[in-house]
Structure 1
Amino acid sequence: MKYIAIKVTKCVLYLTEQELTSLLAKDRELWTTAIKRGKAFTRAKESQQRGVKK
Structure 2
Amino acid sequence: AIEYQIAIMLGILGSVALTVILFVQMGYKTFFNERDQLIVTSPLKKNGS
Give the TM interval when normalised to the shorter protein: 0.5 to 0.7
SS at match of 1:45: helix
Q: How does 1:17-36 map to 2 (within 5 A)?
A: 27-36=1-10
Which structure is larger by alpha-carbon Rg, 1 or 2? 2
Asked which structure has the greater RCO (Cα within 8 Å, sep 6+), the reply is 1
Distance 1:48 1:28 in 2: 30
Counterpart code for 1:53: G
Structure 1 or 2: more strand by fraction: 1
Deviations 1:1-54 (A, max 9, x none): xxxxxxxxxxxxxxxxxxxxxxxxxx1100000001100000000000001112
The aligned counterpart of 2:25 is 51
Distance 2:27 2:2 in 1: 38
The aligned counterpart of 2:33 is none
Number of equivalent positions: 28
The percent identity for this pair of structures is 4
Please report the TM-score for the alignment, with normalisation by the length of structure 1.
0.49
Please report the TM-score for the alignment, with normalisation by the length of structure 2.
0.54
